[in-house]
């Protein structure tokens, strides 16, 4: 009888927690599905989180969680310590953000979390190299000097916004011009910041002309990290919000990715599933767009289309994936994909 009463009481507490947390979450977000998920998590009625897996990020030496928390969009308007703490507690140890000119208050809203955990996480931020060039134009010396000064100023601003004196890595953000990526004047700005103790590693993020940008990074030997927009179907084109016309599939890009990793560049994926989401005014998009690239095991797995895209890119040349996660449901979905990606393939 006492066992039955205890079980009944426990169930009552679970449902009360489910109702209370779900209601509060719905009033805050208006998302019924995400609110119900929050309630189940709080009540202990969801599946447990898997154990995160880790990978060394190139010459940084950092043993990174295979999921990177992309803080830019999530924190641009308001703090989300609930999500940051949930990710950290589950094993995420790499956090990526960006400068205020693009991401508004994201760095500022990350500061309270960093005050508690700065010594335990790998911190990345980024900013444009400010120069007005098309992707195929060549930077001049005077432009490079001005751009180097501007990028250095953005780095100092990022440090102030986050309330820190040092970041582990800082990127040339949205780099698509190889003459900028390979410019020694701009690189010397990084060296000066590194020597001043402001940053350890230089990285690039690129949505366009990515193959040529990555090739330049390999040849120069300056970069410890490269965040690339890539999908199972090949390079992602930020300009068209689509798959780059004429791109080879990711399996055929693998040799370039392997060469970059052999050169000491840690590879961070982004936009792995953006294409299948489609555009808001066109509706859902095409969740089956990448199915032709998947093996039977991945297709049969109990994963969403987004989880499949993350799992695939992680097992075909990337070290980690960077994901923007604005709800606990979204965080756990991406976490599961990163933590279990190796289960669906015979070889990496």
Residue 44 pLDDT: 45
CA-CA distance, 29 to 47, in Å (whole number)?
23
SS (H, E, C) the chain: CHHHHHHHHHHHHHHHHHHHHHHHHHHHHCCHHHHHHHHHHHHCCCCCCCCCCEEECHHHCCEEECEEEECHHHHCCCCCHHHHHHHHHHCCCEEECCCHHHHCCHHHHHHHHHHHHHHHCEEEEEECCCCCCCCCCCCCHHHHHHHHHHHHHHHHHHHHHHCCCCEEEEEECCCCCHHHHCCHHHHHHHHHHHHCCCEEEEEEEECCCHHHHHHHHHHHCCCCEEEEEEECCEEEECCCCEECCCCCCHHHHHHHHHHHHHCCCEEEEECCCHHHHCCHHHCCCCCCCCHHHCCHHHHHCCCCHHHHHHHHHHCCCCCEEEEECCCHHHHHHHHHHHHHHHHHCCCC
The reported pTM is: 0.88
Hey, where are the domains in the chain?
1-46, 51-344
CB-based contacts of 284, cutoff 8 Å, min separation 6: 277, 278
CA neighbours closer than 13 Å in the CB half-sphere of residue 221: 0
**pLDDT at position 22:** 41
DSSP H/E element including 96:
strand 94-96
Is the CATH number 3.30.70.100 carried by domain 51-344? no
| Confidence (pLDDT) at 240 | 85
Whether the CA torsion 320, 324, 325, 330 is positive or negative: it is negative
| pLDDT computed for residue 277 by the predictor | 81
Q: What is the pLDDT of residue 279?
A: 61
Coil, strand or helix: which one is 41?
helix
Collect all residues with Cβ–Cβ distance below 8 Å to 37 and sequence separation of at least 6: 46, 327, 328, 329, 332
Tell me, what's the pLDDT at 286?
A: 84
- pLDDT (tens, 9 = 90+) of the chain, 348 residues, equals 555 545 444 443 333 333 343 444 444 555 554 444 454 444 344 678 999 999 999 999 999 999 999 999 999 999 999 999 999 999 999 999 999 999 999 999 999 999 999 999 999 999 999 999 999 999 999 999 999 999 999 999 999 999 999 999 999 999 999 999 999 999 999 999 999 999 999 999 999 999 999 999 999 999 999 999 999 999 999 988 889 999 999 999 999 999 999 999 999 999 999 888 876 545 557 889 999 999 999 999 999 999 999 999 999 999 999 999 999 999 999 999 999 999 999 754
Give the pLDDT confidence of 232-269 residue by residue, as tens digits: 999 999 988 889 999 999 999 999 999 999 999 999 99
What is the pLDDT, as a whole number, of residue 15?
33
Residues 160, 331: Cα–Cα separation, whole Å? 28
């Amino acid at each position: 009888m006492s066992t039955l009463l205890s079980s009944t009481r426990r169930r009552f507490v679970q449902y009360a927690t489910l109702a209370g947390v779900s209601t509060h979450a719905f009033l805050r977000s208006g998302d019924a599905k995400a609110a119900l998920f929050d309630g189940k998590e709080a009540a202990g009625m969801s599946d447990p989180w898997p154990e995160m897996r880790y990978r060394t990020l190139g010459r940084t030496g950092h043993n990174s969680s295979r999921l990177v928390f992309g803080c830019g969009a999530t924190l641009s308007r308001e703090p989300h310590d609930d999500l940051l703490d949930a990710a950290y507690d589950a094993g995420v140890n790499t956090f990526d953000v960006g400068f205020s000119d693009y991401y508004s208050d994201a760095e500022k809203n990350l500061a309270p979390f960093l005050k508690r955990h700065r010594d335990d996480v790998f911190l990345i931020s980024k900013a444009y190299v400010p120069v007005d060039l098309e992707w195929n134009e060549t930077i001049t010396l005077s432009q490079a000097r001005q751009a180097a000064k501007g990028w250095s100023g953005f780095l100092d601003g990022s440090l102030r916004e986050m309330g820190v004196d040092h970041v582990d890595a800082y990127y040339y953000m949205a780099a698509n011009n190889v003459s900028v990526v390979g410019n020694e004047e701009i690189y010397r700005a990084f060296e000066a910041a590194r020597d001043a103790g402001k940053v350890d590693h230089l990285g690039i993020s690129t949505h366009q002309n990515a193959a040529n940008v990555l090739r330049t990074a390999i040849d120069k030997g300056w970069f410890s990290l490269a965040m690339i927009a890539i999908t199972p179907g090949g390079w992602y084109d930020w300009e068209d919000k689509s798959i780059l016309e004429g791109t080879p599939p990711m399996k055929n890009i693998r040799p370039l990715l392997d060469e970059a990793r052999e050169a000491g560049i840690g590879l961070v994926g982004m936009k792995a599933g953006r294409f299948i989401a489609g555009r808001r005014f066109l509706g859902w998009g095409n969740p089956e767009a990448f199915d032709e690239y998947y093996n039977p095991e991945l297709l049969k797995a109990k994963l969403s289309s987004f989880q499949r895209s993350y799992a695939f890119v992680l097992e075909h040349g990337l070290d980690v994936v960077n994901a923007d996660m604005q709800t606990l449901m979204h965080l756990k979905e991406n976490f599961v994909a990163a933590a279990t990606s190796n289960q669906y393939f015979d070889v990496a």
